[in-house]
Structure 1
Amino acid sequence: MQLTGFHHLTAVTADAPRNHAFYTGTLGLRLVKKTVNQDDVSAYHLFYADGLASPGTDLTFFDWPVARERRGTQSIVRTGLRVGSTASLAWWQQRFATNGVTHHGTVERDGRATLDFEDFEGQRLSLIADDTPGPVHPWAKSAVPAEHQIRGLGAITLSVRDLRPTDVVLTQVMAMQHVREYVAPRAGADAATSTFHVYRMGGDGPQAELHVQVEPGAKPASQGAGGVHHVAFRTPNFQEYEAWAERLAKLGMPSSGPVDRFYFRSLYFREPNGILFEIATDGPGFAADEPMETLGERLALPPFLEPRRVAIERGLKPLVTA
């Protein structure tokens, strides 16, 4: 029983229309599910992904009217997004310059060419050149040429003060392997360096790597717009999902217990430094309630929220304004 990589990453925005414009327009991702936070239906939950809404390609956002994140440790500090080549990084660097996107020059980090950038709220992102073999599903209607489109999630970086308790959960509870470490500039705003520890799940390349940055003296982050809410890891089927729930319970790891999100099943828990993790199934998928060809074009609600559609729609702002 092994996790097979990242399923999705969920972040926070305070401006859903501008968020939609940036991630579909500037980044060329497909809005594959326009729905609501099932625990707070006043907020959108927007899912951006590849052309087929594949598990492992989803970058998602809760729309909450909150202040900006206060950066710090005990948090997810950078989200990697995979592209196919270093030539794509050069293409993206020019696109960012043309569109006024905050970005830095391409660097080599942990042996891979990487281009760091931020969205309009300071969400910290990186494009990672990755030629690992695997399926690629470009979106035909994207503003980005197919050869340069984002292929999915890459390495995701956490920051913790103390590695030891997190290492125990990653290796002994979640069955990851500690495979290497490296030194690189901190994910913050200064020139200091940190040690990063790389943990690998099942699968190949950065889509199966969790990087943990150790910052012993840093202050904890305060969640807000431009920050990350949680990261979700893939499990391929319901049988293994149930086994994970049993494993957490047997090891005495507090969790949400099984949660049916309709598009996938979820299991939530916090690692010892307080960062929220989720284990999510690959299926049923986003085509469970609308055709693949028209994903994201209407507000989709799971069956238990459908009777409240009129009230929910009334409380949401339009994503596209005139």
Structure 2
Amino acid sequence: MELKGIHHVSAITANALDNYHFYTKVLGMRLVKKTVNQDDTSMYHLFYADEIGRPGTDLTFFEINRAGTTYRGNNSISLTSLRVQDDEALQYWVDRFDSHSVKHNGIEEQFGRKVIYFEDKERQRLALISDETNEGVESGIPWKQSVVPQKYGITGLGPVRITVPNLLVTEHILVDVLKFRQMGSYLVDNHHEVFVFSTGKGGTGAEIHVEIDIDAEKERPGKGSVHHLALRVTDRTELEQWREIISAERLPNSGIVDRYYFQSLYFRERNGILIELATDGPGFATDESIEHLGESLALPPFLENQREDIERNLVPLYTKKD
């Protein structure tokens, strides 16, 4: 039994409408699900992904209207990367970022791959990573109706970087418990070492990068921070087996939670990183057709009887014709 790669990353925004504009109109991702946080239905939960929301392509956001500034630091998920098909696509993105006044560092190299580090308006830490030389987990397929030409479009999630003060406790969870493989390391900022761990078929869609920073204070999250990362599990049967493994490690966990579009298990590793294990299915077409994903407020059946109250408390997010 082996985890298949990155499933999704969930972050925080203070403004759903601005967030929607950036990720669909600038980055060209598709809004595949407009729903609410199932644990707090007063806030949106927006899912951006490839053409149909394949597992491994979802970048999601919880809207917390009063979210303050993120004070960056340790014990955090510190970088989310997004895949593109080749180096040529990165040059397209340099030009696009410049035309949209997106802060970026130009094309650099990371672990033998070309990348562009950039930020959204809330200083969410992001990177585009080229799959020019990549082998491993298959990418998604960009949406044909995107504002970005399909050959340059974002194809899914790449490596997720976490920053911690102590490698050993995180390495134990990744290698001994979750069965990742250590693949090597590289430097960032000329002195912080980042260790690369891989699972499943490997490659950009199946890596966690662990940056070691022994000096930084613990991050204080807010808008522009990442809440958790999720890893892919085939189905409910495997998820139940992972629950036994996590419990045997004496890691406090949520037990299995039905998120309707997938089933999940949440736990924190001992450096405080919140990790979710999530099944590949049933997927986002469960309650909407593929042609109309994300156009209406979708609620799982157990929230449907609260629809009127939920919609009354949400600021309208117009997405169909804007």
TM-score class, shorter: over 0.9
Kindly report which structure 2 residues correspond to 1:1-322, keeping only aligned pairs within 5 A, or say none.
1-65=1-65, 66-131=67-132, 132=134, 134=138, 136-185=140-189, 192-320=190-318
Q: 1:82 to 1:248 in 2, by over 3 A?
A: same
Shift of 1:248: 1.1
**SS of residue in 2 equivalent to 1:203:** coil
Q: Give the letter for the 2:176 counterpart.
A: Q
Contact 2:139 2:205 in 1 (8 A): no
Shift of 1:184: 2.2
- Aligned partner letter, 2:180: M
Amino acid at match of 2:2: Q
What code does the residue aligned with 1:210 have?
Answer: I
SS at match of 1:258: strand
Asked if the contact 2:57/2:140 (under 8 Å) is kept, the reply is no
Residue by residue over 1:16-53, the C-alpha shift from the partner in whole angstroms, topping out at 9 and shown as x without a partner, is 00000000000000000000000000000000000011
Q: 1:95 corresponds to which letter in structure 2?
A: R
Moved more, 173-182 or 96-105: 173-182
Aligned length: 316
2-side partners of 1:293 and 1:320: how far apart?
Answer: 17
Q: How far off its partner does 1:210 sit?
A: 0.4
Which amino acid letter does the alignment assign opposite residue 96 of structure 1? F
Cα distance in 2 for residues equivalent to 1:184 and 1:258:
37
TM (norm. structure 1) is: 0.96
Percent identity between matched residues is: 48
CA distance in 1, matches of 2:249, 2:139: 35
Give the deviation of 1:140 after TM superposition: 1.6
Q: Give 1:112's aligned amino acid.
A: R
In 2, distance between residues paired with 1:318 and 1:22?
17
- Contact 2:13–2:223 under 8 Å retained in 1: yes
For the residues of structure 1 that align with 2:113 and 2:316, how far apart are their CA atoms? 39
How far 1:183 moved relative to its partner? 1.5
Within 1, Cα distance between the matches of 2:29 and 2:309? 29
Q: How far has the Cα of 1:135 moved from its partner?
A: 5.0
Three-state SS of the structure 2 residue aligned to 1:304 is helix
For residues 118 and 180 of structure 2, the distance between their equivalents in structure 1, rounded to whole angstroms, comes to 28
> Which stretch shows the higher mean deviation, 266-275 or 173-182?
173-182
Residue 250 of structure 1, CA deviation: 2.1
SS in 2 for 1:256: strand
CA distance in 2, matches of 1:135, 1:315: 37
Structure 1 residues 91-124: Cα deviation after superposition (integer angstroms, max 9, x where no partner): 0000000001111110111100000100000001
Note the aligned Cα RMSD (angstroms).
1.2
Q: Residue deviations 1:148-194, cap 9 Å, x none?
A: 00000001100000111111111111111112112222xxxxxx520
Displacement of 1:195 in angstroms is 0.3
Q: Deviations along 1:68-108, whole A, 9 cap, x unmatched?
A: 21111100111010001111000000000000111111011
The C-alpha deviation readout for 1:266-303, integer Å capped at 9, x for no partner, is 10000101110000000010111111110100000011
How far does residue 308 in structure 1 lie from its aligned partner after superposition? 0.2
Please give the alpha-carbon distance, in whole angstroms, between the structure 2 residues aligned to 1:273 and 1:59: 23
Aligned residue type for 2:290: M
Distance in 1 (CA, whole Å) between partners of 2:143 and 2:10 is 21
